[in-house]
Structure 1
Amino acid sequence: MKAAPGRIRIIGGYLRNSRLNVPDLPGLRPTAERVRETLFNWLAPTIAGVRALDLCAGTGALGIEALSRGADSVQFVESDASVADALRGNLIRLKASGGEVARLDAMRFLQRAAQPFELVFLDPPFAAQLWTPLAQKLEEGGWLANATQIYVESPREQVPMLPVNWLLHREGHAGEVRFALYRRT
């Protein structure tokens, strides 16, 4: 389900059919088009005007898709300098306003003063096993609004340990990937 390195497509909203330049780096795993399509169909009734956090942003495909479909703003967090530069370049080239890129490790970013978000994309590199520690930091650090929706992408056979007040709303599988949308209560 890995998109070919080089370019991936935004599938909906005002940036529909725009292409994102993607660096060819080991471990960079853009979320597949059909997974993004399913996710954003789930989010369609609630995405307009939200503040979103794309933690471990990578290509930024999830956050840019959110901006394209009406999110008010997206905070992208990416630790790799070349990937963060490519993401900034895509935002500028597409004239996608409302996106800000922080070149920081996700855990270090979450040590900053918190700002609550209504939508969070939690899709860390699979090998890093960061779902549980990042989820705990998000929950305990004041990063989540009362009814935040949290998208979590993980290996198909691995359901991360998440805070008990994150209730599974919907989930699916594509190839070796499990994708799920949780609602914070």
Structure 2
Amino acid sequence: MRIVGGSARGLKLADVGEGDTAAHLRPTSDRVRESIFNLLINGTHGNPIPSARVLDLFAGTGALGLEALSRGAAHATLVDDGPAALTLMRRNIALMRGPDAQILRQNATRLPPNPGPAYGLIFLDPPYGKDLGGAALTSALTGGWIAPGAMIVWEENTPPPAPDPLTRIDQRKYGSTVITLLRMPG
């Protein structure tokens, strides 16, 4: 795995190794990550990355949030509670040499109230087939984590529903991965 674009392009991230099968650690492939960022940057919905506050739920390795930082986001909060994921995120932040990133050791489906400004770009990559994405979005909405007008990028293996008040604005399939773009009303 590597950063595929931006100021840290080509940076090799920490090796996942055995990962954490109990936690379903399944990093987004470089190819799918590149497709996601091409869709965000070159799509017809406006580029949400420059100066964005990024929330990466079920962050795993942190690759999505760190990729956004490499491409101009201002800050990323990486949320996961798996021990292997936390170790990988720490290593990858260190490899990026001090980006404005923080780790929140938390179950993404049970977020506390947001203590700071809301986030304009949210990545959601839950374990496939466990119906955790909707619970995480509900938790983020209830806790004030999602800013008005925010873009949500949801990676899943089947097309997810758009929970209220979010609106689906795009959906693409890359192999067995379905990427759904949602928008929070502004």
**TM-score if structure 2 supplies the norm length?**
0.87
The answer to which of 61-70 and 83-92 deviates more is: 83-92
Give the Cα–Cα distance (whole angstroms) in 1 for the partners of residues 162 and 145 of structure 2.
Answer: 15
Gaps (5+ residues) in structure 2?
42-46
SS of the residue 1:20 aligns to: coil
Cα shift at 1:62: 0.5
2:13 to 3, 12, 20: 20
User: Which runs of 4 or more aligned residues in structure 1 lie more than 3 Å from their structure 2 counterparts after TM superposition?
Assistant: 112-115
- Structure 2: distance between partners of 1:113 and 1:105: 14
Matches of 2:164 and 2:113, distance apart in 1 = 24
> Which whole-Å CA distance do the structure 2 matches of 1:137 and 1:114 have between them?
14
The amino acid that maps onto 1:148 is: A
- In structure 2, distance between residues paired with 1:173 and 1:11: 19
Does 1:48 find its partner at 2:50? yes
Determine the structure 2 residue equivalent to 1:125. Answer: 127
Structure 2 equivalent of residue 179 of structure 1: 179
Deviation of 1:121 (Å): 0.5
Q: Does 2:143 align with 1:141?
A: yes
Task: Give the Cα separation in 1 of the matches to 2:25 and 2:109.
Answer: 18
C-alpha distance in 1 between matches for 2:98 and 2:40: 19
Looking at structure 2, the residues matched to 70 and 56 of structure 1 have their Cα atoms a distance apart, in angstroms, of 21
Q: CA 1:18–1:33 in 2, change beyond 3 Å: closer, same or farther? A: same
CA–CA distance in structure 1, aligned partners of residues 148 and 108 of structure 2: 21
Q: Is the 8 A contact 2:48 2:120 kept in 1?
A: no
- In structure 1, which of residues 17, 31, 40 is the aligned counterpart of residue 28 of structure 2? 31
Is residue 127 of structure 2 the alignment partner of residue 90 of structure 1? no
User: 5+ unaligned residues in a row in structure 1: which ranges?
Assistant: 1-7
Match of 1:112 in 2: 113
Shift of residue 176, structure 1, vs aligned partner: 1.2
Identity among equivalent pairs (%): 35
1:75, 1:100 within 8 Å by CA — same for their partners in 2? Answer: yes
Distance in structure 2 (CA, Å) of the matches to 1:149 and 1:12 = 20
CA shift, 1:159, in A, is: 2.3
Counterpart Cα distance in 1 of 2:48 and 2:136: 24
Matches of 1:9 and 1:121 in 2, distance apart?
Answer: 18
CA distance in 2, matches of 1:55, 1:23: 21
CA gap of 1:125–1:65, structure 2 versus 1, over 3 A, is same
Quick one: structure 1 residues 181 and 98, their matched pair in 2 at CA, closer, same or farther if it must change by over 3 Å? same
Structure with a larger share of its residues in strand:
1
Deviation at 1:147, TM superposition (A): 0.4
Letter of the structure 1 residue corresponding to residue 8 of structure 2: L
1:69-92 deviation per Cα after TM superposition (whole angstroms, max 9, x unaligned): 000000001111222112111111
Provide the rounded CA distance (Å) in 1 between the counterparts of 2:93 and 2:138. Answer: 29
Partner Cα separation in structure 2 for residue 103 and residue 143 of structure 1: 15
Shift of 1:127: 4.2
Aligned length: 175
Aligned match for 1:9, one of 2, 9, 18: 2
